[in-house]
Amino acid sequence: MAFLTKTFYSQEDLVRHLKAHHPSFYFSSKTSTVIPYDKLESLLPWKGAGDFYLCDLSKLPPKMELRPNGNLVLQGGVSWEDAKKFLRSKGRNLKTSPTEQLALITAGIATSCTGERCFAFGNIRSQVTRLKYLDFNGEERELTRDQEFKTKSSHLKDYQRDFSAYKDFKNAPYPRFEKAIDLMIGTEGQLGIVTEVEIETTDNTDVTYVFMLLPKWEVDYAPHLEIFNAVQGHRNEIISCELLDANCMNYLKADEKLGENQDVIFLEVKTESFEDIYGNLLSHLSLTSAENVFEIAENKFHHIRAGVPRAIFEVNSQMGVVKVGTDVQVGPDRFKDLLDYYRSASRMGVRYCLFGHFGDAHLHFNYMPSKDESARCQDELLRLYQEVYEWHGSPFAEHGIGLIKQKYIKKFHGKTQLGLFQDLKKEHDPHNQFFPQGFMSVER
Ligand SMILES: Cc1cc2nc3c(=O)[nH]c(=O)nc-3n(C[C@H](O)[C@H](O)[C@H](O)COP(=O)(O)OP(=O)(O)OC[C@H]3O[C@@H](n4cnc5c(N)ncnc54)[C@H](O)[C@@H]3O)c2cc1C
């Protein structure tokens, strides 16, 4: 048995490969934080006979078209960055804005990716109107959001009932399976290959970015919670609300750092609403002075915001450890509990930082352990997932499960979820050729 790498330059090549039913892992831009690409061959266990294929989809010919109804139709290797440029040249913009703009949109469907603009526009599931995918025989199939999800499985009804407890989260501990398009959304390439997507877009409204300097959350998070509560009623005017804590600044260059050992909350505000937001929200904060509110250029914000998780990834690679970070979203009533948990986790004596989609109560707490500290940090996160389970929160709200998070998700998948996964794999992947080591197939 060997691992073989294949790159596809046309859909016809890909169809030929699918028809042969080779067991394969298909990837796009390789930005997933839950797939350890630098250690893939050792962490992608494969006991089957024959070769295993690592399949690169990023070179599939890119194509974009803006439809008269404002929807974007795209195929192949189109990244979020490409789509944003294309749309802006036509007076439109994306409703989803993952921090990593180099990721491909077709892959973003597979991971049910979210991101900064989710605060105003909701999750990607609500923005996909139609998609096409290649099935296990290489046949192209089309799904729309007007069709209901269909399966022969007897588990669907109970599964949907369980899912409803998580309907307000960006992503639940398991995919939605309510509309036909859900077959490909959040199933991480385990049931087919996404080839074409139609998504809603929005007007390219002028936006103003501001940031606020706050005390460190470990010492006093009252100002943070005041902002969190204040922004909730302004999702029409505020497009995103992000946090980088003071520890994140250690991973930026000297001229990029903001504040003096302070946390930073950023707001992306529609320029036409900025005066209202300033007058009715920012100037009314009792715990953050207007003197601590500053404007920042859009490109500088994106550069700094994306620079932190990228730097963390590099630090972990240099230390030779797999990322030990969280992707937890909780309901607004549990946000304080989450911050309290992170406060206690920060006292382990291991380097850490906190950042993320603050307005949605969705934060990434990252340890930067040495090799010796790594196991201890992973155990600590097991304690967190127990809490998240009790809080009815979402353990992995945007990055998915991949390989790295499988051991943590077990508690969230009961008989109903595992039963439906098994039935869907049989129905849509009878030769076990799509990511056979994924969360839908893992034995528990
Ligand atoms: C700095 C940084 C910031 C990030 N910020 C965000 C964020 O704000 N929001 C967010 O959601 N994620 C974020 N991520 C995670 C990552 O960017 C997303 O998970 C993204 O969707 C992965 O896209 P990719 O092209 O890199 O996919 P890959 O890593 O190549 O693949 C990811 C998964 O999708 C499957 N897949 C890929 N292409 C297809 C396809 N065409 N059909 C079916 N399955 C496929 C693969 O099998 C794999 O399971 C961030 C990552 C980094 C490094």
Instruction: Confirm whether 242 is domain-assigned.
Output: yes
Shared domain for 107 and 235, answered yes or no, is no
Say whether pLDDT at 22 is over 80: yes
Please list the residues that pair with 93 across neighbouring strands: 202
Say whether pLDDT at 39 is over 90: no
**Average pLDDT score over residue span 160-168:** 96
* Per-residue confidence (pLDDT) for residue 119, from 0 to 100: 97
Shared domain for 75 and 44, answered yes or no, is no
Shared domain for 19 and 145, answered yes or no, is no
Q: What CATH number has the domain bearing residue 95?
A: 3.30.465.10
Q: How is residue 359 written in tokens?
A: 């307005």
Instruction: Confirm whether 19 is domain-assigned.
Output: yes
pLDDT in tens, 281-337: 999 999 999 999 999 999 999 999 999 999 988 888 888 887 789 999 999 999 999
Number of domains in the chain: 3
Q: What CATH number has the domain bearing residue 383?
A: 3.40.462.10
- Index of the ligand 1 atom closest to the CA of residue 113: 11
Shared domain for 196 and 211, answered yes or no, is no
pLDDT in tens, 346-379: 999 999 999 999 999 999 999 999 999 999 999 9
pTM for the full predicted model: 0.95
Residue with CA closest to ligand 1 atom 38: 107
* Per-residue confidence (pLDDT) for residue 319, from 0 to 100: 83
Shared domain for 159 and 233, answered yes or no, is no
**Average pLDDT score over residue span 91-97:** 95
Percent of the chain with pLDDT strictly greater than 90: 91
d(CA 276, CA 230): 13
352: alpha, beta or left, given left = phi > 0 and alpha = psi -120 to 50? beta
Shared domain for 225 and 258, answered yes or no, is yes
Q: Are 360 and 170 in contact (CB under 8 A)?
A: yes
**Average pLDDT score over residue span 259-283:** 97
Shared domain for 162 and 138, answered yes or no, is yes
425: which residues sit within 8 A by CB, 6+ positions away? 190, 191, 432, 440, 441
* Alpha carbon 253 to chain centroid, angstroms: 26
Shared domain for 109 and 8, answered yes or no, is no
| Structural domain harbouring 13 | 3-56
Q: Which amino acid is at 370?
A: S
CA 249 vs CA 212, 215, 305: distances in Å: 14, 14, 10
Q: How far, in Å, from the CA of 188 to the mean position of ligand 1?
A: 9
Instruction: Confirm whether 400 is domain-assigned.
Output: no
* Per-residue confidence (pLDDT) for residue 2, from 0 to 100: 86
233: which residues sit within 8 A by CB, 6+ positions away? none
d(CA 361, CA 339): 10
Shared domain for 269 and 297, answered yes or no, is yes
Please state which of the ranges 42-56, 87-101, 375-389, 395-409 shows the lowest mean pLDDT.
42-56
Q: How far, in Å, from the CA of 214 to the mean position of ligand 1?
A: 31
Instruction: Confirm whether 295 is domain-assigned.
Output: yes
CA 117 vs CA 1, 241, 404: distances in Å: 44, 8, 26
pLDDT in tens, 130-139: 999 999 999 9
For the Cβ of 33 lying below 6 angstroms from any atom of ligand 1, the answer is yes
Shared domain for 365 and 269, answered yes or no, is yes
Containing 199, the helix (H) or strand (E) segment is strand 193-199
Q: Compute the mean pLDDT over every residue in the chain, rounded to the nearest whole number.
A: 95
Shared domain for 249 and 272, answered yes or no, is yes
Instruction: Confirm whether 432 is domain-assigned.
Output: no
Residue with CA closest to ligand 1 atom 4: 100
| Secondary structure (H, E, C), 109-145 | HHCCCCCCCHHHHCCHHHCEEEEEEECCCCCEEEEEC
Instruction: Confirm whether 401 is domain-assigned.
Output: no
Shared domain for 263 and 314, answered yes or no, is yes
Select from 343, 368, 391 the last residue of a domain. 391
Q: How far, in Å, from the CA of 259 to the mean position of ligand 1?
A: 31
For the Cβ of 76 lying below 6 angstroms from any atom of ligand 1, the answer is no
Instruction: Confirm whether 443 is domain-assigned.
Output: no
Say whether pLDDT at 444 is over 70: no
Instruction: Confirm whether 27 is domain-assigned.
Output: yes
d(CA 278, CA 189): 44
pLDDT in tens, 364-417: 999 999 999 999 999 999 999 999 999 999 999 999 999 999 989 999 999 999
CA 409 vs CA 31, 381, 429: distances in Å: 21, 12, 22
**Average pLDDT score over residue span 257-281:** 97
Say whether pLDDT at 1 is over 80: no
For the Cβ of 98 lying below 6 angstroms from any atom of ligand 1, the answer is yes
pLDDT in tens, 210-253: 999 999 999 999 999 999 999 999 999 999 999 999 999 999 99
Q: Which amino acid is at 385?
A: Y
